[in-house]
Amino acid sequence: AAATTGKTKAATAAAATTTSDAAKGDDDGSGGATEIAWLMAFPMSGATFVLRLASALKPTQEIMAVNSVPFGMPHDPVFDDSPQGPFYIDLGDVEGKEESKEKGRYALTQTSCAGVCLPPCPPGAFIETLLTFDAGCRSTAWFDETDGVLKYGMYGASRVSKAVHVVRDPLSNVVSRFRAHWRYHVDRPNETKYTNDKAGFAQFCKDSDALNEAEERDLKFFPPDVEALMEKVPCRDEFFKYVQWHNLAFEEGDYRDLSHNVVYYEDFDGESGKDPGQAMQKLGVFLNLLEEGDTVEIKGMPEFRGASMYHSYYTEEQTAAIWAFLEAVALPSTWKTIARYQNLGGNVA
């Protein structure tokens, strides 16, 4: 399982191992300094595919990086003076890759930042401010190869110059998170089991909503008008996490003055009527992997296994309640980005 970081760990890491903001990046092989482009993605929205895709667009360059390294995965710090990360990794399945690569202009660094815990997860563990979200975006975790101990760190923000912001249909994203929860718990004894289907999702939402109801009411985490909108929203905290995360991702881009590029996960699905080559080309140009006008050979790219849509997991009443809540809580930038998914009926507009 991938290493994860929380607020307390991030705060500890900030005091212990922070890269100097004055430090310069390592040479990328062309005379320029390597910089960090965050691959900002709410969990289960397609970040791993985008990471593989970016590497395949120019397999001669080192570009895949992460903040949190899965156990047992080989990794190397992107910068010599920042042993606490981020870390280059190799997922081992990119066609045409070379054993020895030059550093790319950008290290595309996957991060979920903060506020993404799965149930059981009380509000105090997922309600974030811009500063705690920013700290989460820069927090790292890795297993020390010498002693096998999980360690935590944090790097400075001066090398972060771009953000690839991945967006997925909210209704489907939340169901995919339930399915990830199911896969994690299915073989663990003495834990509540759910069936991996619509009925299991409904029960999961019912249990999750009941778990935090008293705390949310007593501690007034949400104002009355938001609480009223959330009453008919299944897995209400999951949808709050989704919209809060995207709100903060846009705010983080402004806070750090990042060049910000939104990538829609479903745009890579040719069966939805979209042109995946166009989406791939746009990503490649943004990361200096392609030139304007370059074409992408889809055949040589990582396989896209379909943008699963789970709208059938919700009733019409629930769907209407979810969208009313999202519209009320989303920042204008977030709403403009996710409104394309409203009333899809399972197909991407």
The tens place of each residue's pLDDT in the chain, 349 residues long, gives: 344 444 544 444 443 444 334 344 565 544 469 999 999 999 999 999 999 999 999 998 999 999 999 888 899 999 999 999 999 998 765 444 555 578 889 999 999 999 999 988 999 899 999 999 999 999 999 998 788 899 999 999 999 999 999 999 999 999 999 998 888 766 666 666 789 999 999 999 999 999 988 888 777 778 888 889 999 999 999 999 999 999 999 999 999 999 999 999 999 987 666 789 999 999 999 999 999 988 888 777 888 877 789 999 999 999 999 999 999 999 999 999 999 999 775 444 3
Same domain, 177 and 203: yes
Residue 125 lies in a domain: yes
In a domain, 2, yes or no: no
Residues 231 and 249 in one domain: no
Contact 80, 153 (CB under 8 A): no
Strand segments, DSSP code E, in the chain are: 35-41, 61-66, 75-77, 87-89, 102-111, 139-143, 150-154, 160-167, 259-264
Whether 41 and 92 map to the same domain: the answer is yes
Burial of 211 (0-12, 13-18, 19+ CB in 10 A): middle
Judgement on whether residues 177 and 245 belong to the same structural domain of the protein: no
Predicted TM-score (pTM) above 0.85:
yes
Cα separation, 334 vs 245, whole angstroms: 10
Confidence at residue 327, expressed as pLDDT on a 0 to 100 scale:
96
Tell me, yes or no, whether 109 and 43 share the same domain: yes
**Domain annotation covers residue 152:** yes
Contact criterion met (CB below 8 Å) for 39 and 47: yes
Interior CA angle at 51 toward 22 and 135, to 5°?
A: 40
**Residue 331, domain extent:** 171-238+309-341
In a domain, 118, yes or no: yes
Please tell me whether residues 89 and 224 are part of one structural domain.
no
Say how many domains are in the chain: 2
CATH code of the domain in which 98 resides:
3.40.50
Tell how far CA 153 is from the center of its chain. 19
Rounded Cα–Cα distance for residues 69 and 4 (Å): 9
Are 183 and 141 members of one domain?
A: no
In a domain? residue 114: yes
